[in-house]
Amino acid sequence: MLYSQEGGLFLGQQQQGRLPSCAVFPQSRPFLHGRNPRRYIICYVGRMHLFDIVKNKSCAHSYFGHTKAVRDVQFAHSGKNFLSCGFDNRVLNWDTEYGKVNATFNLKRIPFTLKYHPSEYNPHIFLCGSSSRKIYQFDLRTGAKTMEYNQHLGTVNTLTFIEENKFVSSSDDKKLFIWEYGVPVVTRHVSEP
């Protein structure tokens, strides 16, 4: 069981194995048939589980859809949907409440990181960094890949928006790139000397 105790996260007896990462559910959003908003967290150990970490520290919902281990999870701003990517080369768009897969994006290489666009006007856009050394931009409305950012020389490990129109990527090539959203050209880079 996963729960918060004095700011820390603990993995109890119910879950065995590796805990690669966790994602916090948006705190101000109602969930599960209109209940009062609570803090939830989703963790993944091959499968994904949504835990109530405030009230009874129990598993509120489980999600099964990846055939291999899950690498990253990213909640939408509303909390109604979330994205997951795994070592099965797929990105899945989930309905949080019902556990249904809304869309599947098949990639040729392993997706390593996901990030929704931070703007309330673009909640349907997300970025995906992969082992192909590329960052893909997808549109959830059409299911299409709308852009590729291709400058890294290694697997893309993290994506972070620093402004609504700028984001940073890090890679195994030991470089940080700053990108202008919608323009597949690096505006700044930081690397080891």
Per-residue pLDDT tens for 104-127? 999 999 999 999 999 988 999 999
At residue 193, the pLDDT reads 66
At residue 23, the pLDDT reads 77
At residue 90, the pLDDT reads 94
Please state, as a whole number, how many other Cβ atoms lie within 10 Å of the Cβ of residue 68. Answer: 12
Domain boundaries, the chain: 1-106, 111-193
State how far the Cα of 10 lies from the Cα of 22, in Å rounded to an integer: 11
Sign of CA dihedral 31, 82, 146, 164: positive
CATH architecture assigned to 1-106: 7 Propeller (2.130)
CA distances in angstroms from 89 to 102, 107, 143, listed in the order given: 17, 5, 16
Spatial contact of 57 and 51, defined as CB atoms under 8 Å apart: yes
Regions of the chain with pLDDT less than 50: 1-15, 28-34, 36-37
At residue 37, the pLDDT reads 47
**Residues in CB range of 128: below 8 A, 6 or more apart:** 85, 91, 105, 107, 111, 113, 114, 135, 136, 137, 138
Q: Which CATH number fits domain 111-193: 1.20.1260.10, 2.40.10.480, 1.10.3720.10, 3.20.20.120?
A: 2.40.10.480
Phi, psi of 160 (to 5 degrees): -145, 125
